[in-house]
Structure 1
Amino acid sequence: MNQRARIAMTEDEVAAFLAASRKLQLATINPDGTPHLVTMFYALADGKIGFWTYGKAQKTLNIARDPRVSCLIEAGDDYNELRGVLLYGIAKQVEKTLDLGLDIARRMTPGVPDDLLLPYVEQTGRKRVAFVVEPTRVVSWDHRRL
Protein backbone atom coordinates (compact mmCIF):
# COMPACT_ATOMS: atom_id res chain seq x y z
CA MET A 1 0.00 0.00 0.00
CA ASN A 2 1.39 3.42 -0.91
CA GLN A 3 1.55 6.28 1.57
CA ARG A 4 -1.32 8.18 -0.08
CA ALA A 5 -3.64 5.18 0.38
CA ARG A 6 -2.45 4.75 3.98
CA ILE A 7 -3.48 8.26 5.01
CA ALA A 8 -6.84 8.39 3.18
CA MET A 9 -9.90 8.35 5.44
CA THR A 10 -12.72 5.87 4.99
CA GLU A 11 -16.19 7.16 4.03
CA ASP A 12 -17.28 6.81 7.66
CA GLU A 13 -14.23 8.74 8.87
CA VAL A 14 -14.90 11.50 6.34
CA ALA A 15 -18.53 11.70 7.50
CA ALA A 16 -17.48 11.88 11.17
CA PHE A 17 -14.84 14.53 10.41
CA LEU A 18 -17.38 16.69 8.54
CA ALA A 19 -19.91 16.28 11.35
CA ALA A 20 -17.37 17.36 13.98
CA SER A 21 -16.05 20.41 12.10
CA ARG A 22 -17.76 23.80 11.75
CA LYS A 23 -15.85 25.87 9.19
CA LEU A 24 -14.61 25.36 5.68
CA GLN A 25 -12.75 27.27 3.04
CA LEU A 26 -15.05 27.64 0.04
CA ALA A 27 -13.59 28.30 -3.39
CA THR A 28 -15.70 29.61 -6.27
CA ILE A 29 -14.57 30.87 -9.66
CA ASN A 30 -14.44 34.62 -10.35
CA PRO A 31 -15.44 35.98 -13.80
CA ASP A 32 -11.75 36.29 -14.76
CA GLY A 33 -11.09 32.63 -13.81
CA THR A 34 -9.26 33.34 -10.56
CA PRO A 35 -10.35 31.58 -7.38
CA HIS A 36 -12.51 33.38 -4.85
CA LEU A 37 -11.73 31.86 -1.45
CA VAL A 38 -13.66 32.53 1.76
CA THR A 39 -14.13 30.89 5.14
CA MET A 40 -17.71 29.80 5.84
CA PHE A 41 -19.59 28.10 8.64
CA TYR A 42 -21.53 25.13 7.34
CA ALA A 43 -24.02 22.47 8.34
CA LEU A 44 -24.77 19.05 6.96
CA ALA A 45 -27.93 18.54 4.93
CA ASP A 46 -28.53 14.83 4.43
CA GLY A 47 -24.79 14.28 4.86
CA LYS A 48 -23.86 16.95 2.31
CA ILE A 49 -22.23 20.30 2.98
CA GLY A 50 -24.71 23.15 3.15
CA PHE A 51 -24.04 26.86 3.55
CA TRP A 52 -25.86 30.14 3.21
CA THR A 53 -24.74 33.56 2.16
CA TYR A 54 -26.11 36.88 1.02
CA GLY A 55 -27.85 36.86 -2.34
CA LYS A 56 -25.60 39.64 -3.66
CA ALA A 57 -22.31 38.17 -2.34
CA GLN A 58 -19.52 37.51 -4.82
CA LYS A 59 -19.66 33.78 -4.12
CA THR A 60 -23.39 33.75 -4.96
CA LEU A 61 -22.76 35.56 -8.25
CA ASN A 62 -19.89 33.18 -9.04
CA ILE A 63 -22.02 30.09 -8.34
CA ALA A 64 -24.84 31.43 -10.52
CA ARG A 65 -22.36 31.71 -13.41
CA ASP A 66 -20.38 28.51 -12.68
CA PRO A 67 -21.61 26.20 -9.90
CA ARG A 68 -18.33 24.30 -9.53
CA VAL A 69 -16.86 24.72 -6.03
CA SER A 70 -14.27 23.17 -3.79
CA CYS A 71 -14.51 22.95 -0.01
CA LEU A 72 -11.54 22.41 2.29
CA ILE A 73 -12.11 21.33 5.87
CA GLU A 74 -8.90 20.82 7.84
CA ALA A 75 -7.55 20.32 11.34
CA GLY A 76 -4.18 19.99 13.06
CA ASP A 77 -1.24 22.27 13.69
CA ASP A 78 1.83 20.09 13.23
CA TYR A 79 2.50 17.99 10.13
CA ASN A 80 1.93 14.70 11.95
CA GLU A 81 -1.49 15.96 13.17
CA LEU A 82 -2.85 17.22 9.84
CA ARG A 83 -6.26 15.91 8.80
CA GLY A 84 -8.50 17.16 6.10
CA VAL A 85 -11.15 16.66 3.49
CA LEU A 86 -11.10 18.39 0.10
CA LEU A 87 -14.48 18.11 -1.54
CA TYR A 88 -15.05 19.07 -5.16
CA GLY A 89 -18.63 19.51 -6.23
CA ILE A 90 -21.53 21.43 -7.70
CA ALA A 91 -23.30 24.01 -5.51
CA LYS A 92 -27.07 23.82 -5.91
CA GLN A 93 -29.37 26.45 -4.48
CA VAL A 94 -32.01 24.99 -2.15
CA GLU A 95 -35.32 26.33 -0.89
CA LYS A 96 -34.87 25.52 2.81
CA THR A 97 -32.88 28.69 3.53
CA LEU A 98 -34.16 29.21 7.09
CA ASP A 99 -33.85 25.54 8.07
CA LEU A 100 -30.26 25.39 6.86
CA GLY A 101 -29.54 28.81 8.38
CA LEU A 102 -30.76 27.60 11.77
CA ASP A 103 -28.60 24.48 11.53
CA ILE A 104 -25.57 26.66 10.72
CA ALA A 105 -26.37 29.08 13.55
CA ARG A 106 -26.55 26.14 15.99
CA ARG A 107 -23.07 25.02 14.89
CA MET A 108 -21.71 28.58 15.12
CA THR A 109 -23.03 29.07 18.66
CA PRO A 110 -23.16 25.71 20.47
CA GLY A 111 -25.47 25.66 23.45
CA VAL A 112 -27.47 28.78 22.51
CA PRO A 113 -31.17 27.87 22.57
CA ASP A 114 -33.20 28.02 19.36
CA ASP A 115 -35.55 30.69 20.73
CA LEU A 116 -32.54 33.06 20.88
CA LEU A 117 -31.18 32.03 17.48
CA LEU A 118 -34.42 32.12 15.53
CA PRO A 119 -34.90 35.92 15.46
CA TYR A 120 -31.37 36.35 14.04
CA VAL A 121 -31.88 33.59 11.48
CA GLU A 122 -35.25 34.97 10.37
CA GLN A 123 -33.93 38.52 10.03
CA THR A 124 -30.70 37.74 8.21
CA GLY A 125 -32.40 34.99 6.19
CA ARG A 126 -34.45 37.57 4.30
CA LYS A 127 -31.37 38.51 2.29
CA ARG A 128 -29.72 35.10 2.11
CA VAL A 129 -29.71 32.11 -0.20
CA ALA A 130 -28.76 28.57 0.71
CA PHE A 131 -26.69 26.01 -1.17
CA VAL A 132 -25.94 22.32 -0.84
CA VAL A 133 -22.81 20.90 -2.45
CA GLU A 134 -23.30 17.77 -4.53
CA PRO A 135 -19.89 16.10 -4.31
CA THR A 136 -18.13 14.99 -7.48
CA ARG A 137 -14.82 14.00 -5.85
CA VAL A 138 -13.60 13.70 -2.27
CA VAL A 139 -9.95 13.61 -1.22
CA SER A 140 -8.99 13.03 2.41
CA TRP A 141 -5.89 12.63 4.57
CA ASP A 142 -5.02 11.85 8.16
CA HIS A 143 -1.32 12.27 8.87
CA ARG A 144 -1.73 10.79 12.34
CA ARG A 145 -1.48 7.43 10.55
CA LEU A 146 2.09 8.10 9.44
Structure 2
Amino acid sequence: MGKQRSEIAMSADEISDFLNAGGTVQLALIGPDGYPDITPMWFVIDGDTLWMRTYGKSQKVVNARRDPRCCALIETGDRYLELRGVQITGDVQVVDDVDRICWVAARLMVKYEGVDPEHIPALETAYRDRAPKQVALSLSLDRIVSWDHRKMAPA
Protein backbone atom coordinates (compact mmCIF):
# COMPACT_ATOMS: atom_id res chain seq x y z
CA MET A 1 0.00 0.00 0.00
CA GLY A 2 2.97 2.36 0.60
CA LYS A 3 3.82 2.64 -3.09
CA GLN A 4 0.19 3.17 -4.09
CA ARG A 5 -0.25 5.79 -1.35
CA SER A 6 2.74 7.76 -2.66
CA GLU A 7 1.34 7.56 -6.19
CA ILE A 8 -2.00 9.08 -5.17
CA ALA A 9 -0.63 11.69 -2.76
CA MET A 10 -1.16 15.29 -3.80
CA SER A 11 1.79 17.59 -4.46
CA ALA A 12 2.23 20.73 -2.34
CA ASP A 13 0.64 22.81 -5.13
CA GLU A 14 -2.27 20.37 -5.45
CA ILE A 15 -2.86 20.51 -1.69
CA SER A 16 -2.80 24.31 -1.76
CA ASP A 17 -5.26 24.45 -4.67
CA PHE A 18 -7.53 21.88 -3.01
CA LEU A 19 -7.61 23.71 0.34
CA ASN A 20 -8.21 27.10 -1.25
CA ALA A 21 -10.99 25.82 -3.54
CA GLY A 22 -13.65 25.67 -0.84
CA GLY A 23 -15.38 22.87 0.93
CA THR A 24 -16.02 22.30 4.58
CA VAL A 25 -13.53 20.91 7.07
CA GLN A 26 -14.68 18.20 9.46
CA LEU A 27 -12.94 19.09 12.72
CA ALA A 28 -12.55 16.19 15.16
CA LEU A 29 -11.73 16.99 18.77
CA ILE A 30 -12.00 14.88 21.90
CA GLY A 31 -15.39 15.38 23.51
CA PRO A 32 -16.15 15.50 27.24
CA ASP A 33 -16.94 11.77 27.24
CA GLY A 34 -13.59 10.88 25.66
CA TYR A 35 -15.08 10.08 22.25
CA PRO A 36 -14.43 12.03 19.05
CA ASP A 37 -16.65 15.07 18.60
CA ILE A 38 -16.80 16.03 14.91
CA THR A 39 -18.00 19.41 13.70
CA PRO A 40 -18.24 20.84 10.16
CA MET A 41 -16.50 24.21 9.87
CA TRP A 42 -15.78 26.81 7.23
CA PHE A 43 -12.09 27.63 6.94
CA VAL A 44 -9.52 29.82 5.25
CA ILE A 45 -5.83 29.25 4.69
CA ASP A 46 -3.19 31.81 5.62
CA GLY A 47 0.30 30.61 4.74
CA ASP A 48 0.82 27.32 6.56
CA THR A 49 -2.19 27.68 8.88
CA LEU A 50 -5.84 26.72 8.58
CA TRP A 51 -8.14 29.23 10.33
CA MET A 52 -11.74 28.83 11.53
CA ARG A 53 -14.12 30.99 13.60
CA THR A 54 -16.71 30.01 16.19
CA TYR A 55 -18.41 31.10 19.41
CA GLY A 56 -16.11 31.11 22.42
CA LYS A 57 -18.53 29.11 24.56
CA SER A 58 -19.16 26.39 21.96
CA GLN A 59 -18.48 22.76 22.83
CA LYS A 60 -15.67 22.58 20.26
CA VAL A 61 -13.85 25.41 22.05
CA VAL A 62 -14.38 23.77 25.45
CA ASN A 63 -12.97 20.58 23.93
CA ALA A 64 -9.98 22.38 22.36
CA ARG A 65 -9.08 24.19 25.58
CA ARG A 66 -9.20 20.91 27.51
CA ASP A 67 -7.31 18.83 24.92
CA PRO A 68 -6.04 20.54 21.74
CA ARG A 69 -5.30 17.32 19.83
CA CYS A 70 -7.37 17.21 16.68
CA CYS A 71 -7.75 15.84 13.22
CA ALA A 72 -9.30 17.81 10.37
CA LEU A 73 -10.58 16.37 7.11
CA ILE A 74 -11.50 18.09 3.87
CA GLU A 75 -12.71 15.67 1.19
CA THR A 76 -14.62 15.49 -2.07
CA GLY A 77 -15.91 12.84 -4.44
CA ASP A 78 -18.78 10.39 -4.57
CA ARG A 79 -17.20 7.46 -6.40
CA TYR A 80 -13.96 5.70 -5.50
CA LEU A 81 -11.98 7.02 -8.46
CA GLU A 82 -13.18 10.58 -7.70
CA LEU A 83 -12.13 10.67 -4.03
CA ARG A 84 -9.75 13.44 -3.01
CA GLY A 85 -8.89 14.60 0.45
CA VAL A 86 -6.53 16.23 2.88
CA GLN A 87 -6.23 15.15 6.50
CA ILE A 88 -4.48 17.50 8.92
CA THR A 89 -3.40 16.30 12.36
CA GLY A 90 -2.12 18.53 15.14
CA ASP A 91 -2.97 20.72 18.09
CA VAL A 92 -5.66 23.33 17.49
CA GLN A 93 -4.99 26.73 19.06
CA VAL A 94 -7.77 28.91 20.46
CA VAL A 95 -7.08 32.56 19.59
CA ASP A 96 -8.96 35.31 21.47
CA ASP A 97 -7.40 38.22 19.56
CA VAL A 98 -10.21 40.43 18.21
CA ASP A 99 -8.18 41.57 15.19
CA ARG A 100 -7.52 37.96 14.15
CA ILE A 101 -11.17 36.97 14.70
CA CYS A 102 -12.27 39.85 12.43
CA TRP A 103 -9.59 38.91 9.89
CA VAL A 104 -10.88 35.32 9.75
CA ALA A 105 -14.57 36.31 9.69
CA ALA A 106 -14.07 38.72 6.77
CA ARG A 107 -12.23 36.15 4.69
CA LEU A 108 -14.83 33.47 5.44
CA MET A 109 -17.48 35.85 4.06
CA VAL A 110 -15.44 36.34 0.90
CA LYS A 111 -14.78 32.61 0.45
CA TYR A 112 -18.22 31.22 1.31
CA GLU A 113 -20.70 34.07 0.89
CA GLY A 114 -19.27 35.52 -2.32
CA VAL A 115 -18.54 38.96 -0.88
CA ASP A 116 -16.16 41.03 -3.02
CA PRO A 117 -12.62 40.93 -1.53
CA GLU A 118 -12.37 44.72 -1.86
CA HIS A 119 -14.84 44.92 1.05
CA ILE A 120 -12.53 43.07 3.49
CA PRO A 121 -11.54 46.21 5.47
CA ALA A 122 -15.20 47.20 5.92
CA LEU A 123 -16.13 43.63 6.88
CA GLU A 124 -13.39 43.53 9.51
CA THR A 125 -14.62 46.82 10.98
CA ALA A 126 -18.27 45.77 10.92
CA TYR A 127 -17.48 42.48 12.64
CA ARG A 128 -15.75 44.06 15.67
CA ASP A 129 -18.94 44.25 17.74
CA ARG A 130 -19.51 40.48 17.43
CA ALA A 131 -15.88 39.41 17.77
CA PRO A 132 -15.60 39.50 21.59
CA LYS A 133 -18.04 36.57 21.89
CA GLN A 134 -16.09 34.56 19.35
CA VAL A 135 -12.69 32.97 18.90
CA ALA A 136 -10.52 31.98 16.00
CA LEU A 137 -9.17 28.45 15.82
CA SER A 138 -5.86 27.78 14.11
CA LEU A 139 -4.32 24.53 12.96
CA SER A 140 -0.83 24.26 11.51
CA LEU A 141 -0.51 22.49 8.17
CA ASP A 142 2.62 20.63 9.33
CA ARG A 143 1.17 17.10 9.45
CA ILE A 144 -0.79 16.36 6.28
CA VAL A 145 -1.86 13.18 4.54
CA SER A 146 -3.47 13.62 1.12
CA TRP A 147 -4.96 11.48 -1.61
CA ASP A 148 -6.33 11.91 -5.09
CA HIS A 149 -7.87 8.70 -6.39
CA ARG A 150 -8.27 10.26 -9.83
CA LYS A 151 -4.55 9.46 -10.24
CA MET A 152 -5.44 5.74 -10.21
CA ALA A 153 -7.82 6.01 -13.15
CA PRO A 154 -6.62 4.43 -16.38
CA ALA A 155 -5.12 6.97 -18.78
In the superposition, the TM-score normalised over structure 1's length comes to 0.89
Task: Kindly state the Cα deviation for residue 131 of structure 1 after the two structures are TM-superposed.
Answer: 1.4
In the alignment, the residues of structure 2 paired with residue 20 and residue 36 of structure 1 have an alpha-carbon distance, to the nearest angstrom, of 25
- Equivalent residue number for residue 7 of structure 2: 6
Identity across aligned pairs (percent)?
Answer: 38
| Structure 1 match to 2:24 | 23
Which runs of 5 or more structure 2 residues have no equivalent in the other structure? Answer: none
Q: Structure 1 residue 108 and structure 2 residue 112: aligned?
A: yes
2:71/2:88 contact within 8 Å kept: yes
2:65 maps to what in 1?
A: 64
Cα separation, 2, equivalents of 1:142 and 1:120: 39
**What displacement does 1:15 show?**
1.3
Query: How many correspondences in the alignment?
Result: 146
Pairwise CA distance, 1:112: 4.8
Gaps of 5+ in 1: none
Change (3 A) 1:126 1:22: farther
Cα drift, residue 88 of structure 1: 0.4
- Give the counterpart letter for 1:52 in structure 2: R
Give the 5 Å matches for 1:33-52.
Answer: 33-52=34-53
TM-superposed deviation, 1:4: 1.1
Q: Would you say the 8 A contact 1:93–1:131 is kept in 2?
A: yes
Corresponding position of 1:80: 81
Quote the Cα distance in structure 2 between the aligned partners of 1:84 and 1:36.
Answer: 20
Partner SS for 1:71: strand
Q: Which moved more, 1:51-60 or 1:129-138?
A: 129-138
1:109 aligned partner, one-letter code: E
TM-score normalised according to structure 2 size: 0.84
